[in-house]
Amino acid sequence: MKKLKNRVALVTGASSGIGEGIAIAFAKEGADVIVNYPDKAGERNIWDVEKAIKKAGRRALVVKADVSDERQVKRMVNKALKEFGRIDILVNNAGIADAGALTHEMSAEMWDRNVAVNLRSVFLCSRYVLPHMYKQNFGKIINNSTQFAYTGSPLFGHYTAAKAGVIALTRTMAMEVDDANINVNCVAPGAVMTPMVEDVPSGKPSGVLARQTKHRFGDVDKDIVPTFVFLASEESRFYSGQTLSPNGGDVFL
């Protein structure tokens, strides 16, 4: 039996990498999927994601929205509800990384943009989806963080702070919503070769692999996505406020 049969899922940042893998896997498990992308760069692949969802026999809705912008988030959620009537699963996956900078050299603009996309978006999307989950007395919210939220990472103070905030927000929301049959959990992946990781300065990913017990990059579909499927399914109904970290032995939690 498919684990997400007849569920409706909203996946942010679904045009590539982990988000793409989640959206397609959810469809294969029986869910209709709203796939979000932010800009023209994401537009290049989002239609392939839509095609893969439909090939799995499920409905897809493509929505362009910058999830750090409140008005765009409201419009996205309203469009999803108009199309499907409900949102059962929210995956706050959208995220960015940049070249980074030492704290004393980082511009406020670099800090603000990173925190807006990596943390503010989690708040905004949850803020506008939660009222509907309360009404239907059911929901699964899965937030995407990183193992660096636990270890820190030189040059990436903005990124690690935002992602640590995602874990803290996950725990707080879980405390608030459990009585409404809503589960809020988090995934903190390790090194995975996605387009975002490919943009990280050379040498950084290899340093992570040297610390791992597995000494390899994770595979999106085989190593990372199954954790999201689990947390979206009824198998995780007793998980609340948890952060699961498929990281190849880089960090022991």
Instruction: List pLDDT tens digits, range 124-178.
Output: 999 999 999 999 999 999 999 999 999 999 999 999 999 999 999 999 999 999 8
Please state the domain extents for the chain: 8-244
134 is catalytic: no
Please tell me the predicted confidence (pLDDT) of residue 210: 63
Q: Which helix (H) or strand (E) holds 141?
A: strand 139-144
Closest CA to 78 of 69, 68, 87: 87
Burial class of residue 159 (count of CB atoms within 10 Å of its CB; 0-12, 13-18, 19+): buried
Of residues 37, 128, 150, 159, which has the active-site annotation?
Answer: 159
Residue that wins the pLDDT comparison between 117 and 248: 117
Upper half-sphere CA count for residue 249 (Cβ side, 13 Å): 8
The correct answer on CATH 3.40.50.1100 for the domain covering 8-244 is: no
Bridge-based pairing of strands 89-92 and 60-64 is unpaired
Specify the DSSP element, H or E, that contains 47: helix 40-55
List pLDDT tens digits, range 66-102.
999 999 999 999 999 999 999 999 999 999 999 999 9
Q: How many CA atoms lie within 13 A of 195 on its CB side?
A: 15
Check residue 114 and give its pLDDT: 98
Angle, vertex CA 154, rays to CA 148 and CA 160, nearest 5: 35
